[in-house]
Amino acid sequence: MATEKTFYLETFGCQMNAHDSEKVIGTLRQQGYRQVEAEEDAGLILYNTCSIRDKAEQKVFHRLNDYKKLLKQGKKFGVLGCVAQQEGEKIFERAPHVSLVCGSASYRNLPQMLKGLEDTLPENQPPEPRSSKLTAQSLVRITGLDDRETDECFETEFTARTNPHRGYITIIEGCDKFCAYCVVPFTRGKERSRTSDSVLAEARQMADLGYSEIQLLGQNVNSYKDSAGKRSFAELRAAVGEVPGIKRVRFTTSHPRDFGRDIIDTIDAVATLCDHVHLPVQSGSDRVLNAMQRLYTREQYLERIAWMKSAKRDISITSDIIVGFPGETEEDFAETLSLLDEVGYDAVFTFKYSPRPNTPSLALEDAIPDQEKSRRLEVLMARQREIQITRYQRYIGETLEVMVEGRNNARAQWIGRTSQNKTLNFTAPATAAPTIGSYVPVRATGSFPNSLLGELVV
Ligand code: SF4
């Protein structure tokens, strides 16, 4: 009797990584593997890693080190994702118990890589306890490290989606922008788009399975280019929004340089496209934007914000900001603060600059002390919090449609999400309790800096 093939997968990082993991899980299941919840129960332990933040690779190596003891039980280890791509075969040197290193641009080759790995697995009986000393068997080394040559996206019909109501669809992989601080062009390869027909086919399949919300994913969705030349990004979003059964379409992430007016026009034209745009600005200073190689000015960014503000629908706007980029002066930082006031964001994700391997900004001196970066971050977050208090208050008294995402029993509240991507916690009479995944009207009765409070409209 052959030993059952089992795997454990842990995922770090962004939505792209989360969705990659869904595809990897589907691929492994298709190859006869069963997913388990604990490392101890798995024959194969995989880490889908993220390298966007400082010290990401050290964290991965620490983690791998912790699990070296499991080698005695005959387990195999694999590193996936951005740290795999970034560190490559160096992983085998620092963590010799690792058998598989695979960057995201090579996931389509996973079945062959798994086969190679299986050929080394002990068969027909539970693994013999072995010494922690590396054996020839544990030294199998399989890499999938595509560089920027590949033109293919990783598409699979076996995606194992984790949420039964809302799901991701990747429309474009990789990035060609090379912002000075960013590792993504080096870890996820060059831009490559799926055909709009294949994206639409996946959206229809999801709708048939009962999904009602779709999030279109890409490192830079605005660079989407249908290789069959049929639809622009805005047209593709509109077409996905018109698939029967789909009630909400979101997208992330945008780059301001490629962000066209048509994206806003389609939000006005197609009711299912959500009233939310995440448009990372990173800095309010032209000098810093130039040093970051962001390819737009503050004025051009604000032009896009003006399109959103002139839309018929009330679009919520969110952004990413980095503080402490090399050379950022107090004046530059003050311009970022003034941009917050000018835009009036609904939320901002803030980060301290940290130099990343291979990136152009590594050549710049990272001279701003960490303490000063932390101070700027705190000032920024405090200002944004004030803005959000006002932004959230504007909904009080309004009735908003929410998708019911869960229930907080301790508070006797339901958890909903609005089209504008706001959490709205609400009460409902027991006789009208909503079901998870349904869409219900809720009247907002109170607000906090990060959420709304309300009651179901019966
Ligand atoms: S657009 Fe810039 S920040 Fe975004 S993934 Fe590409 S290089 Fe990174």
d(CA 53, CA 61): 15
pLDDT at position 147: 63
Mean pLDDT (the chain, rounded): 90
pLDDT for the residue 133 = 37
Most confident of the ranges 11-25, 69-83, 108-122, 438-452: 438-452
- Residues 15, 246: Cα–Cα separation, whole Å: 20
In residues, how long is the chain? 458
Cβ count near 438 (within 10 Å): 12
Residue 120's pLDDT is 65
Query: Which pLDDT score is estimated for 2?
Result: 59
Could you tell me what percent of the chain has a pLDDT over 90?
Answer: 70
In ligand 1, the atom with minimum distance to the C-alpha of 255 is 1
Measured from CB, residues less than 6 Å from any atom of ligand 1 are 175, 177-179, 182, 184-185, 219-220, 255
Probe residue for ligand 1, chosen from 219, 301, 356 as the CB with the greatest number of ligand atoms within 8 Å:
219
Interval between CA 182 and ligand 1 midpoint (Å): 6
DSSP-assigned states of every residue in 94-123: H-TTEEEEE-GGGGGGHHHHHHHHHTTS--
Most confident region among 29-38, 115-124, 130-139, 445-454 by mean pLDDT = 445-454
Long-range CB pairs of 302-308, under 8 A, 24+ apart, other chains included:
302/339, 302/342, 302/343, 304/256, 304/259, 304/279, 305/279, 305/342, 305/343, 307/261, 307/264, 308/264, 308/277
Distance 84 CA to ligand 1 centre (A): 19
- Sign, CA torsion 305/311/314/315: negative
Confidence check: pLDDT of 332 > 50: yes
Task: Give me the mean pLDDT over the 155-175 stretch.
Answer: 89
For residue 159, the CA-to-ligand 1 centroid distance in Å is 26
Which tokens in the block code for residue 250?
């979101």
Of ligand 1's atoms, which has the minimum distance to the CA of residue 178?
A: 7
Closest among 160, 230, 161 to 195, alpha carbons compared: 230
Ligand 1 midpoint to CA 184 (Å): 6
Are the C-beta atoms of 191 and 223 separated by less than 8 Å? yes
Residue 127 has pLDDT above 50, yes or no: no
* Ligand 1 center from residue 281 Cα (angstroms): 11
Closest residue by Cα to atom 1, ligand 1, is 177
Which atom of ligand 1 is the closest one to the Cα of 182? 8
Distance from C-alpha of 79 to C-alpha of 98, rounded to nearest angstrom: 7
Q: What is the number of other CB atoms lying within 10 angstroms of the CB of residue 91?
A: 25
Residue 93 has pLDDT above 70, yes or no: yes
End-to-end Cα, the chain, rounded Å? 58
For the cut 70, the answer to whether the pLDDT of residue 138 exceeds it is no
Strands (DSSP E) found in 69-225: 76-80, 98-102, 142-144, 166-170, 172-173, 192-193, 213-217
**Statement: residue 129 has pLDDT above 50:** no
Per-residue model confidence (pLDDT) at position 124: 33
CA dist., res. 86 & res. 187, Å (int): 6
H/E stretch holding 299 reads: helix 298-309
- Measured in Å, residue 48 CA sits from the centre of ligand 1 at 20
Q: Which atom of ligand 1 is nearest to the CA of 188?
A: 5
With beta carbons less than 8 A apart as the criterion, state whether 366 and 323 touch. no
Question: Distance from the CA of 337 to the center of ligand 1, in angstroms?
Answer: 22
Cα 105 to ligand 1 centre (Å): 16
In testing the pocket of ligand 1, which one of 177, 279, 351 has its CB within 8 Å of the most ligand atoms?
A: 177
pLDDT at 244: 98
- In ligand 1, which atom is closest to the CA atom of 219? 5
